[in-house]
Amino acid sequence: MSAALLTLDQLNAMDAAAFKAALGPVFENAPWVAEGAAKLRPFTSLTALHRAMIAQIAARPEADLIAFLRGHPRLSPETLRRGTTAESRAEQTAAGLNALDDTTVAKLDALNAEYEKKFGFPFILAVRRASLPTLLATFERRLTASADAERAEALMEITAISWMRLLDRVRPAPTGSVSTHVLDTVRATPAAGLGVELWGHDADGKAICLETFMTDANGASGRDLLEGRLKPGQYEWRYDTPTYFASKGYPTTARSFLGKVSVAFSVWNPEEHFHVPLLLTPGSYTTYRGS
């Protein structure tokens, strides 16, 4: 996983062997996925490339699909001791599977054995985005699934794993951005003149303020933010709601309950637009991913 990201233009210009070498590890022990995608170039976005790679898997007959699932390693300390791919080692180590206590190891071993006996392939989860409690809870839930449902969920997890591995290797197209829009639902009007900050994290994980502005007459950011600069990761909108409600004549007791409202959100695909609406009152707020 090199720090120097490839561009889409570079990938499109590579010969088939170089393309396969660059993207072969994106899918665990399955370089044939990249080999098939190489024939479908050029790609104008990382999203299109990923979809083409997933399509290579979906087109395989059932026996090949099961073999592909069986090519994934167990999520366990034993896997790390015996050795696995560099990508899987990094992901499992980052999830803390190399530092479990004996009780948790025994529980995980039992879950793995039960799962593999029932479904015939290892339990697959995008552990880079899962805490240990999430891992164990997901394991126990999925043990109750039907064979068809579990196969589908395993493939969805592989979709997530492969997307993160692609982002480790290839620079996404500069098409993503973020925006927000706030409605004052007590006054039934846009929340114009509301102070807003957009926060993100630098390479070391330190929170930094990326943008500061006042909402426009429509209660909105007025423009798409971080165009060409959006990266995958965690972001947060911070709204100065106490000052806004004070300017509208709400008394102290009414405007002090929420304090400054913060809405954290994740950018999974930095080629997409992420719009965050906020429906606001002095005593409550509602948010969702908008369009």
Q: Which residues are catalytic?
A: 72
For 12-15, which contacts have Cβ atoms below 8 Å and span 24 or more sequence positions? 12/41, 12/42, 12/43, 14/38
Q: Max CA-CA distance within the chain? A: 68
* Cβ pair 282, 186 in contact under 8 A: yes
Sequence-separated (6 or more) residues with CB below 8 Å from residue 10: none
Give the neighbor-by-neighbor strand order of the sheet with 273-281.
189-190, 177-184, 273-281, 284-287
**DSSP secondary structure code for residue 25 in this structure:** G
Spatial distance between the Cα atoms of 210 and 196, rounded to a whole number of angstroms: 11
The DSSP string of 27-44 is STT-THHHHHHHTT---S
Q: Spell 82-120 as b/e; 16+ CB within 10 A means b.
A: eebeebbbebbeebebeebeeebeeebeebbeebeeebe
79 token code pair: 């896997």
Q: Cβ(224)–Cβ(179) under 8 Å?
A: yes
